[in-house]
Amino acid sequence: MQEESPPADDLTRALESEPPIDAELSIDPAAARALAAGRIGDPFSILGPHPVREGIVVRAYVPPAQAVELIGADGTVLANLQPLPPPGLFAGRLAASTGYRLRIHWPGGVLQEVEDPYAFGLLLGELDIYLLAEGNHLELGRCLGAQPMSIGGVDGVRFAVWAPNALRVSVVGDFNGWDGRRHAMRKRVEAGVWELFVPRLPIGSVYKYEILGAHGLLPLKADPVALQSEAAPRTASVVADPAPFQWSDARWLERRARDGALVHAPLSIYEVHAGSWRRVAEPGWRALNWHELGDQLIPYVTGLGFTHLELLPVMGHPFSGSWGYQVLSQYAPQPMLGDPPAFARFVDRCHDAGLGVILDWVPGHFPTDAHGLAHFDGTALYEHADPRGGFHQEWNTAIYNLGRREVHAFLISSALHWLERYHVDGLRVDAVASLLYRDYARREGEWIPNQYGGRENLEAIDFLRHLNDAVNKRCPGALMIAEESTAWPGVTQATRDWGLGFSYKWNMGWMHDTLRYMQHDPVHRSYAHHDMTFGLLYAFSERFVLPLSHDEVVHGKGSLIGRMPGDTWQRFANLRAYFAFMWTHPGKKLLFMGGEIAQDWEWNHEAEVDWAALEHPLHAGMQRLIGDLNRVYREAAALHVFDSDGMGFRWLMADDSSHSVYAFCRFGRDDTPPVIAVCNFTPVPRLHYRVGVPRAGNWREILNTDAHIYGGSNMGNAGWVHAATTPLHGQAFSLELTLPPLATVLLRFGG
């Protein structure tokens, strides 16, 4: 904690009564009072070496030191500094400019030898300062924050933080007794950035910033650009090891750049909350760390045939109940799961196993914790000052001021940091709709129209387009996925064509419509038949991901299996048929953990997936089905090549509402066998059911969700069906099928 400064009257009397030792050593009484009170805005004007008429005057302010000496490289004493008011200030004279260190005598006989932090010149280069002032610096992870380095042969840490409206900024930690008077920083006024080099500070040191604002001292602030942070409930930042991680994924990155956004490739995503996928039966019921997740999660996900793993935000967040969506450390991995190298090693192991990694990333809002970004320098710096634009009423969080170029660059730099430093393969951008609309979750009069009187957030549009352009330019093949729940046009359209430039968009409408349909008792489904077909009216207007995400199994919604109607067997059969409908429907796939085993209860972030359920054959059968669906999806090109193109889909039958049966065909390129999906969403078997098909010949049944191995009744088509020359449903040929109850059957032409 900061020591109490002496009362102003006592300090004044001491300054007036102290005989002047050397006029060139002493400082102005007003400056002495400001120094003691921690109100010096430019400590370099007083401290460190200063040329005078006869030599160099050196001043050091190190309360509560008892004595200070200047020593040379060989340890010889160059000068004994004299104590001056205020207590803790020492000054002396060198005959000529020469290198020196401070030998500080602390109470209790503790001796410290260290270079003078105020003997170092300007730290940030001209280009960095220019880009920071311009608000266009996209590599803040190497520019700001705590950067271990060597300057003039001296090892230490360069600190830099953006706080343009602060009156004084100090870096504090155990190394200075958390005393903000000890390491006050220099302000680079042209960019509003404060900097200081702290010599000999070791990697792993914890630190914060003490900031004096216009209205007084603020709560100690964590570093906005910290590369490592303490685990909760501690809130300090940590000086991270700068040693580069030894990656082994060069071939993976080359292939990713060549394959691009995977538009014509299978993309099947397993969404995971790393803290609650599996826990360890130890005191505290702890989550797995990154090493353990590498051992267990990676083979599990690849074994089920998913192409990518999507992690709920792994950026540092103070409240686990936010699931990571209230981020305070936009540049540091959540410390609970391991240090930054451990996370990098996890990503590297994923790539070695052929598994891509997508991170949820939150640029729309941040929590208002006192140690975080809120009123960072005593003003609304990162957020809007007006609560009509700066406070998110639904989430009780602050909203980034994307119209401020420095904030704009802070977030884009964060996105690039995860993609470049940690080699992740994509970002799913959270809550894009809340960015795009000024009136999002607000009533009339509670929001500010844009300059044209509209509800569109023009600054956010500019930010998102700049974000995607920067990612496309610097990270070839990286995926940018928007969680956007409205009908905003052009989300996945190129920015050159005035789109937002995302690779994919979550199809929230498809998810809501189809889940609503599945919750109906089958006897009533005929009245909601359009819920399963409506999505095809706009399926190719964007590049879509079909999401069954964590949001669908929380807040009282129950689990996926819990929303299916009927008895136990029917519930499982419904979900199996629905999964197969999803995996054959145009669009990439996403499934949240637990869904693959039909977990009975909704997700609890303080528990784990109900692995014990796999002892029951129906749950184990669901898991096997997901693995087989992924296998078929990857092997059958017709199911993924034209996921975002209407030429890859044709309804065979979309109007049999009385039987709740749907049939459609998926096409690939000319040399690709088409695949037919026929879904029976009633518990009534349909015998001799005829469906029109585009080709004559044999059609092989490649998957049947009613198979015994999945927990079904094992009704089907004995492996093959031959197309007759009987026209039907606008097709020249037709198949006579056996449709099992509550099941989806997949058939591929020619085997």
Q: Please enumerate in sequence order all residues whose Cβ is within 8 A of that of 709, keeping only pairs 6 or more positions apart, or say none.
A: 621, 624
Tell me the pairing of strands 544-548 and 77-80. unpaired
How many residues does the structure list for the chain?
751
Q: Does a cis peptide bond (omega within 30 degrees of 0) precede residue 64? A: yes
Half-sphere exposure of residue 304: CA atoms within 13 angstroms, side-chain side: 25
* Opening angle at CA 158, ends 66 and 173, nearest 5: 50
Could you give the CA distance from residue 457 to residue 179 in angstroms, rounded to a whole number?
43
Dihedral angle at the C-alpha atoms of 467, 472, 474, 475, nearest 10 degrees? 110
- 180 within 8 A of 170, measured Cβ to Cβ: yes
Question: Looking at 483, 513, 531, 643, which residue is catalytic?
Answer: 483
User: Does residue 264 contact residue 232 with C-beta atoms inside 8 Å?
Assistant: no
247 three-class SS: coil
126: tokens are: 């001209």
Q: Is 360 helix (H, G, I), strand (E, B) or coil?
A: strand
Cross-strand bridge partners of residue 624: none
Residue with tokens 């005959």: 95
Look at the alpha carbons of 78, 82, 86, 88 in this order and tell me if their dihedral is positive or negative: positive
Adjacent-strand bridge partners of 693: 733
Taking the C-alpha atoms of residue 622 and residue 595, their distance in angstroms, rounded to an integer, is 9
Say if residue 340 is preceded by a cis peptide, omega within 30 of 0: no
DSSP state, residue 1: -
Q: How many Cβ atoms from other residues are within 10 Å of residue 441's Cβ? A: 13
Catalytic residue (one of 271, 430, 602, 643): 430
- The tokens of 133 are what? 């002032």
What are the DSSP E strand ranges found in 165-290?
168-173, 186-188, 193-199, 206-213, 216-217, 237-238, 268-272
Q: Is 483 a catalytic residue?
A: yes
Distance CA 27, CA 681 (A): 86
| Cβ-contact 142, 148 below 8 angstroms | no
Q: Which residues share a beta bridge with 728? A: 731
Helix 405-421 × helix 458-474 angle, to 10°: 30
Nearest to residue 136, comparing CAs of 87, 207, 191, 194? Answer: 191
Q: Give catalytic residues, as residue numbers.
A: 430, 483
